[in-house]
């Protein structure tokens, strides 16, 4: 289905032509969009311990960054930006905005970051290592975009305009008047990050062990030389490290759904016939194996279609998961899901 959000392209066309290839600017992608919150509400969020926030102030050609949470709300009249990450975790409308981009797998969706900038405000020219959609709310921002080859393009973004940028494209957005910009970002873990986390995972499950012994040790001819036997021992231990595709899936599912350390879940006491995932909850699956907020579980094959629907749509009628009532009660106590009167 063609989408105004993607400039009249289908999701398949957009992914083939632009995703991680070249930018796309869509005028009036969301023509009625004028933002999700005002400056006062954004300032209030920046005071909270469970919210990631920062202020950026431009001083000539330098940008100074201060990390939140802040003790009081502060807005400068120019050259100032307040940014809040994870807006979708605290505002239902922002979560709905994020889900408009779920033609990209949820395992890649990260969050909605909102920035409020006074005239002259911005974070400076920079390059992101991940894909990003930049949706303009209230106000006007001037964007300058450089291709990896150095070609420069500049344009103005107004309410409802959308800019997609692949990784590696340098860009700079400067507010021409007080304005809001909503950044829909995507996860792109680096190989080192994956490897380090996977080794931790293997360690928890029990890596090969053994103590180095050298009962036939001869006197050292050179005291600082590393013994050949010790090198051989280390090599033999490392060769014993093995993993299966099932272990990789288990690790990846837990890794991708693990909530950030500052997030807090509250028990749910709402009632209704509709199960809705909390905005902070990530539920992913592969086959009959499911992962929720860093935990793994399996279901009988007959219950998998309904659970997959809950994961895909983030909501489902409670009676569809009647056989998993105990699990749903556990998730309600943990704050992972809520019951509602209707699909919200």
pLDDT of 342 reads: 74
C-alpha 287/C-alpha 198 separation (Å) is 21
Average pLDDT over residues 218-238: 87
- pLDDT, tens digit (0-9, with 9 covering 90-100), for 277-305: 999 999 999 999 999 999 999 999 999 99
Q: Are strands 109-117 and 152-157 parallel, antiparallel or unpaired?
A: unpaired
Q: Which secondary structure element, helix H or strand E, spans residue 82, and what is its range?
A: strand 80-84
**pLDDT tens digits along 25-54:** 999 999 989 899 999 999 999 999 999 999
Judgement on whether residues 168 and 24 belong to the same structural domain of the protein: yes
pLDDT-based confidence at 214, cuts 50/70/90?
confident
Same domain, 178 and 289: no
- 232 and 291 together in one domain: no
Q: What percent of the chain stands above pLDDT 70?
A: 99
Residue 63 has a CB neighbour count (10 Å cut-off) of 17
Flag whether 223 is in a domain.
no
For residues 95 and 8, membership in a common domain is answered with yes
Asked whether the predicted pLDDT for residue 208 surpasses 80, the reply is no
**Are 158 and 203 found together in one domain?**
no
pLDDT computed for residue 151 by the predictor: 92
Q: Are residues 257 and 131 in the same domain?
A: no
Q: How far apart are CA 221 and CA 205, in angstroms?
A: 40
Is residue 215 a part of any domain in this protein?
A: no
Query: Which token pair is 330?
Result: 């556990």
Please report the pLDDT score of residue 86 as a whole number. 96
Interval 161-172: pLDDT, tens: 999 999 999 999
Would the pLDDT of 344 be above 50?
A: no
Q: Which residues pair with 84 in a beta bridge?
A: 53, 114
Scanning the structure block, which residue is given the tokens 């993993």?
Answer: 243
For tokens 């910009």, what's the residue?
181
Strand partners, 55: 66, 82
Question: Do residues 276 and 317 both lie within one domain?
Answer: yes
Task: Tell me how far apart the alpha carbons of residues 181 and 140 are, in angstroms, rounded to a whole number.
Answer: 9
Q: Cα(217)–Cα(195) distance, rounded to whole angstroms?
A: 36
Is the same domain home to 63 and 147?
A: yes
pLDDT value at 235 more than 80: yes
User: For residue 124, is it left (φ>0), alpha (ψ between -120 and 50) or beta?
Assistant: left
Put simply, whether the predicted model's pTM sits higher than 0.85 gets the answer yes
What is the distance between the alpha carbons of residues 166 and 169, in angstroms, rounded to a whole number?
A: 6
**How deeply is 320 buried, as exposed, middle or buried, from its count of CB atoms within 10 A (0-12, 13-18, 19+)?**
middle
**What pLDDT does residue 27 have?**
97
CATH code of the domain in which 146 resides: 2.60.120.650
CATH of the domain at 325: 3.40.366.30
Q: Write down the pLDDT at residue 29.
A: 98
Is residue 220 one of the residues assigned to a domain?
A: no
The percent of residues above 90 in pLDDT, for the chain, comes to: 77
What does the pLDDT read at residue 122?
A: 97
74-108, pLDDT tens digit by residue? 999 999 999 999 999 999 999 999 999 999 999 99
Round to whole Å and give the CA distance between 41 and 44: 5
- How many domains in the chain? 3
The 8-class DSSP code of residue 72 comes to S
Range with the poorest average pLDDT among 109-118, 142-151, 213-222, 331-340: 213-222
Domain presence at residue 158: yes
Q: Check whether residue 153 and residue 285 sit in a common domain.
A: no
Domain limits at 81?
A: 4-186
Higher pLDDT, 238 or 24: 24
Same domain, yes or no, for 315 and 288?
A: yes
Q: Is residue 288 part of a domain?
A: yes
Residues 276 and 312 both lie in one domain:
yes
Q: State the chain's mean pLDDT as an integer.
A: 93
In a domain? residue 217: no
- pLDDT given at position 156: 98
Do 9 and 118 lie in one domain? The reply is yes
């Amino acid at each position: 289905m063609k989408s105004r959000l993607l400039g009249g392209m289908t999701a398949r066309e957009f992914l083939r032509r632009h995703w991680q290839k070249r930018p796309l600017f869509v005028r009036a992608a969301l023509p009625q969009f004028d933002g999700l919150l005002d400056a006062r509400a954004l300032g209030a969020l920046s005071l909270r311990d469970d919210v990631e926030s920062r202020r950026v102030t431009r001083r000539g050609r330098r940008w100074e960054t201060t990390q939140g949470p802040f003790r009081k709300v502060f807005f400068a009249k120019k050259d100032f930006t307040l940014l809040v990450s994870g807006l979708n975790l605290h505002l239902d409308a922002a979560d709905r905005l994020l889900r408009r981009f779920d033609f990209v797998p949820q395992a890649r969706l990260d969050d909605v970051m909102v920035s409020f900038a006074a005239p002259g405000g911005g974070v400076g020219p920079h390059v992101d290592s991940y894909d990003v959609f930049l949706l303009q709310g209230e106000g006007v921002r001037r964007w300058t975009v450089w291709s990896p080859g150095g070609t420069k393009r500049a344009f103005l973004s107004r309410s409802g305009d959308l800019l997609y940028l692949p990784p590696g494209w340098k860009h700079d957005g400067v507010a021409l008047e007080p304005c809001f910009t909503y950044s829909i970002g995507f996860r792109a873990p680096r190989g080192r990050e994956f490897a380090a986390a996977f080794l931790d995972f293997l360690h928890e499950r029990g890596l090969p062990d053994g103590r180095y012994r050298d009962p036939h040790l001869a006197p050292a001819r050179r005291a600082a030389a590393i013994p050949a036997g010790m090198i051989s021992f280390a090599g033999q231990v490392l060769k014993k490290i093995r993993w299966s595709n099932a272990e990789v899936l288990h690790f990846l599912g837990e890794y991708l759904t693990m909530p950030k350390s500052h997030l807090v879940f509250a028990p749910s006491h709402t009632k209704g016939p509709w199960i809705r995932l909390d905005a902070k909850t990530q539920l992913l699956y592969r086959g009959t194996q499911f992962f929720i907020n860093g935990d793994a579980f399996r279901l009988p094959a007959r219950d998998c279609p309904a659970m997959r629907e809950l994961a895909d749509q983030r909501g489902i009628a409670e009676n569809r998961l009647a056989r998993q009532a105990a699990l749903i009660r556990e998730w309600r106590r943990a704050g992972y899901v809520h019951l509602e009167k209707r699909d919200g």
